[in-house]
Amino acid sequence: MTTNLKRIEETSKKFNDNIEEVSKELKRIQSVKCRLKKFKGKSTYEKEMTEVLQYEQILKEVRNLLDPREKPVTKFEQEDVNQLDYDETIKAIRSIQSKKTLSKWLTDVENDNDEYRNACKIESMLITHREAIKPVDKDHVRKSDVQTIIDTMETSGKLSQEKLLELLKKLV
């Protein structure tokens, strides 16, 4: 099912680019779809279900436009791994190890499936990356924390000196 980008933008504007409103509408349309499934004998079932499914897909696209999701660990490539800091790497390792455990017995033979082999490959990339980087020392400040303060200062215009000091003291 292909979706029209113009229609997605129009739908987004219809909800004033508000993610909560889009989520409410998505839940509503999913309820409509659930109720409609009970009436498969209805003469207009095919037409109505097609319209509901198309609208649901558009709402999902709008949601993804307004609130993009991070790439799941199971789809990581080497470039994605290289962008992680130490804490994010540790979190990703835990996630992929969980995936390995869950996919270990997907076939009758232990460890004999593509999902498990892919998880092993990603885990080895993450472990290698973890060895190459260091955790942030207590005496150091993360670049991302400083960048967050800079972004806050730029977006909010003139910050009061007290608010600026409060943000900086959180770093220390």
Q: Which domain holds residue 78?
A: 73-132
Domain shared by 128 and 77, yes or no: yes
Domain shared by 60 and 9, yes or no: yes
Task: Read off the pLDDT of residues 32-67 as tens digits, 9 standing for 90 and up.
Answer: 999 999 999 999 999 999 999 999 999 998 888 887
Domain shared by 115 and 101, yes or no: yes
Total domains in the fold of the chain: 3
Domain shared by 31 and 44, yes or no: yes
Indicate whether this model's pTM tops 0.85: no
Q: Token digits for 1?
A: 């099912």
Domain shared by 77 and 127, yes or no: yes
Please name the residues in contact with 8: beta carbons below 8 A apart, sequence gap of 6 or more. 58, 61, 62, 65
- Residue 38 Cα distances to 2, 50, 133, angstroms: 26, 15, 55
Domain shared by 46 and 21, yes or no: yes
Q: Token digits for 11?
A: 């739908």
Domain shared by 79 and 128, yes or no: yes
Domain shared by 125 and 78, yes or no: yes
Q: Which of the two residues, 120 and 137, has the higher pLDDT score?
A: 120
Task: Read off the pLDDT of residues 104-134 as tens digits, 9 standing for 90 and up.
Answer: 888 888 878 899 999 999 999 999 999 888 7
Please name the residues in contact with 58: beta carbons below 8 A apart, sequence gap of 6 or more. 3, 7, 8, 11
Domain shared by 122 and 147, yes or no: no
Q: Are 125 and 113 in contact (CB under 8 A)?
A: no
Of 66, 98, 114, which residue is a domain's last? 66
Q: Are 119 and 145 in contact (CB under 8 A)?
A: no
Q: Token digits for 75?
A: 């789809």
Local structure of 25: helix, strand or coil: helix
